[in-house]
Amino acid sequence: MPVESYIPNSHPVDLSNRQAVAEYHSQLVADRRAALLSGFTADLRFELDIAKPPRNPGARHPPALPSNALITFRLAEALQSGPGKHSQVWTAIAELPGGTPTTVVFKILQPSMCEYPEEADPYYWADYEFPGHLAEGEAWAYDHLAQKQGLLIPYFLGMRTIIAPSGERAWVLMLEYIAGGMSLRSYIQSPGRTLADTCNIRLSIETLTEFMADGWCNLDAVPRNVIVTGTPEARRILLIDLTYTVRLRAEEEEYQRVAARRKLFNDIYYALEDHTGELEQFMQTIGSQVRSRRPAPPRL
């Protein structure tokens, strides 16, 4: 697929070398053991500086934080934690002398706590992605989508390296905290939601076209990575995970853009599969509209 995406300059380990993979695997196993004994906890503090967020017309106000000084951040609540996940996600409170505490999100990629193959054989490591590369790739996407920050994606406050409590090096992406939002997956499964409210969500999802209008495609645009905000009369959505975001070349844009929307609609449909009648008909209508706009695949 012809795309533009983050390309790392080097790889920390030669994944085709059996001995190198075995040593790396052993190190990850030892580091995970240490991380499980001494992991990230509430009230843990880090001193970090942030990148100055962009100012975009019509966007939300960015977090009120200075970008020219070290800030003490205190971990508050774990939103996602434990071994075998792509990242650990925490809310963090910026403690400003004489100022109002500000909440941000810390997305932490600690290699030993990320997913990795159980076997040391290079065969199982063919698709392994180094956590540092994933962090750098997502930072690359946020930087290239600065004009969408505060609108369709959160404000990005920079990527930094930190030392985990276990002594392991980790990468942290600092992001805007979306107060009062919930994932689209949780929203569409919540009680008390009406068909009209779901229609508003459908209309809000159309705003993803803005994200794709410049040729960008999020390959992981699924309901868990979409945040719903606002009231039933004025729903808005935001993409919160840009790990697998690429920029498509012109000849692929329309095909991939429509395919990505179709994938998201499919995921929503399955999340709503316990509903019948009008709602099922409504979702089938969406699918029909998307299929009618889908161009023929490019010839190989």
- What percentage of the chain exceeds 70 in pLDDT? 70
For residue range 45-63, list pLDDT tens digits in order.
999 999 999 999 988 899 9
In a domain, 1, yes or no: no
| Beta strands across the sheet bearing 234-239 | 182-183, 226-231, 234-239
Same domain, yes or no: 192 and 161: no
Among 176, 199, 225, residue at a domain's last position: 176
For residue range 81-90, list pLDDT tens digits in order.
999 988 999 9
Q: What is the mean pLDDT of the chain?
A: 80
Domain extent for 114: 8-176
**Residue 237 burial by CB count (10 A; 0-12/13-18/19+): exposed, middle or buried?**
buried
Same domain, yes or no: 102 and 203: no
Higher pLDDT, 36 or 184: 36
In a domain, 142, yes or no: yes
Confidence of residue 219 (pLDDT cuts 50, 70, 90): confident
Same domain, yes or no: 223 and 108: no
Same domain, yes or no: 167 and 209: no
User: For residues 40 and 34, what is the distance between their CA atoms, to the nearest angstrom?
Assistant: 12
- What percentage of the chain exceeds 90 in pLDDT? 47
Tally the residues of the chain: 300
We report the CATH number of the domain holding residue 193 as: 1.10.510.10
Count of domains for the chain: 2
We report the CATH number of the domain holding residue 125 as: 3.30.200.20
What is the predicted pLDDT for the residue at 2? 46
Among 176, 208, 232, residue at a domain's last position: 176
For residue range 259-287, list pLDDT tens digits in order.
665 565 555 555 554 443 444 454 455 44
In a domain, 253, yes or no: yes
For residue 169, pLDDT over 90 is answered with yes
List the beta bridge partners of residue 185. Answer: none
Among 176, 207, 230, residue at a domain's last position: 176
What is 275-293 written as a DSSP string? --THHHHHHHHHHHHHHHH
Most confident residue range from 94-98, 245-249, 265-269, 270-274: 94-98
**Residues 170 and 161: beta-carbon distance below 8 Å:** yes
| Strands annotated E in the chain | 3-4, 45-48, 71-80, 88-95, 102-109, 156-163, 169-176, 182-183, 216-218, 226-231, 234-239, 245-248
Same domain, yes or no: 190 and 289: yes
